[in-house]
Amino acid sequence: MANFPIQTYDQKAVLAVAFTFAILAFIAVCLRLVAHQIAHKKWMPSDYFIIAACIFAVGLQSISITGVFQAGIGYGHVLDVIQQYGPAPVIKLSQLIIPLQFTWVLSLSCTKISILCLYLHIFPYRWLAWSSYVTMAIIVAWTIGTILVGCLICQPFAFNWDKTIPDGKCGDQVTSFTITGIINLVTDVMVLLMPMQPVYQLQMATYKKLTLVAVFGLGIFTCVISALRISVLSSMDFADITFTIPKANIFSGLEPCIACVLACVPLMRPLLGHSVQTPYGSGERPAKSQSKSAGSKESKGVRDDGFDQLDDDTSELCLRPLGLQHRADASALRETVNDDASEIDVESIDRDGGGIRVKQSFQVEERGRAL
């Protein structure tokens, strides 16, 4: 098998992107899992999907690296490659394009499903749950369709790399890549926009809300790369594949790796050390974390949530309850303060018509102070 010298700009670009972003995706997923460990969290379905996505993304970049060294990606025109090394590298590249396409679609689909699983975990909205499931179904159908097209576009299958087979034929492969890329971009936008309304409706400080919008909006970078990939696919020519594939290969490798990284960013907050996951919720420490020299909670008036109870009887108005009136309206609602909410600083998420509300009324009378 030929080993191509690394001497052209296209070769170096493909290798640089492959090595750099494969490592970044791997590190991002590892940091996400370390953050879970710090927060004492169990792995969720979204974690398993992002691990699978990372494996496929790294596999894609490994195939790209193999293509540069052994199949002539970026080395020059097909005729030049054949003259120097024979037809074997071109045949090998035609074979590598198939797993490149499969790992691309599998990595992106796993990343998107991972993000949708995260939405299901942190946003208690019925409409968002249904939207997530519908989007998942579209993504699964797109994945299966892309793999089927890759397997069936050339008949027989070996005609993908062996053009000497009698009566073999191929459909328009560039067009099929473009169509699958457009569907991918549409699902990217769907996943990107889905959490924006729930985040906008959160009852929290504006700067926190904007921060969350920015975090969830990081997917815009994946959308941009997806659009750029579609634009460069039109420049591919399978008759001169070694010369025309580098740009498409770079963007096809960038997209799943960056998607993995961005999908992990919202879950890395525990690495900053600003919040501690406890049975009392994010950011709260149990009473035993208070200084032992401070005495008992009862003597100091310190509650479990860290607030000091003030026994102040010096105001002009002495508030004394003359009788408590309670009214509670209850409806089914799952708990909205969860592990992921703590990590992305979602303090509370309300659902229309849900929740438990307790109203406590006081009757207050004003009494004159004894001079």
The CB-side HSE value for 310 (13 A sphere, CA atoms) comes to 4
Q: Would you state the pLDDT for residue 124?
A: 83
Name the pLDDT band for 367 (thresholds 50, 70, 90).
Answer: low
Summarize pLDDT for 72-106 with one digit per residue, the tens: 999 999 999 999 999 999 999 999 999 999 999 99
* Rounded-to-10 torsion of CA 220, 225, 229, 232: 120
pLDDT exceeds cutoff 80 at 282: no
Residues 6+ apart with CB under 8 A from 42: 36
Among 118-127, 131-140, 162-171, 283-292, which is the least confidently predicted range? 283-292
* Rounded-to-10 torsion of CA 20, 248, 93, 68: -30
Among 16-30, 170-184, 199-213, which is the least confidently predicted range? 199-213
Q: Would you state the pLDDT for residue 146?
A: 96
Among 20-24, 135-139, 174-178, 359-363, which is the least confidently predicted range? 359-363
The three-state secondary structure class of 84 is helix
pLDDT exceeds cutoff 70 at 301: no
Summarize pLDDT for 212-225 with one digit per residue, the tens: 888 888 889 999 99
Q: What does DSSP assign to residue 165?
A: S
Among 82-96, 125-139, 188-202, 237-251, which is the least confidently predicted range? 188-202
Among 18-32, 99-113, 244-258, 300-314, which is the least confidently predicted range? 300-314
Handedness of CA 42, 45, 50, 52 (dihedral sign): positive
Phi, psi (degrees; rounded to nearest 5) at 229: -60, -45
State mean pLDDT over 21-44. 94
d(CA 250, CA 271): 31
pLDDT exceeds cutoff 50 at 176: yes
Q: Would you state the pLDDT for residue 201?
A: 78
Q: Would you state the pLDDT for residue 366?
A: 56
Query: What's the mean per-residue pLDDT of the chain?
Result: 79
Phi, psi (degrees; rounded to nearest 5) at 97: -60, -35
CA distances (Å), 266 to each of 28, 182, 195, 269, in order? 11, 26, 13, 7
Summarize pLDDT for 142-174 with one digit per residue, the tens: 999 999 999 999 999 999 998 889 988 999 988
Q: Would you state the pLDDT for residue 290?
A: 43
pLDDT exceeds cutoff 70 at 288: no
What domains can you pick out in the chain, each with its CATH number? Answer: 9-277 (1.20.1070)
**Which residue did the predictor score with more confidence, 212 or 109?**
109
Structural contact between residues 187 and 142, judged by C-beta atoms closer than 8 angstroms: yes
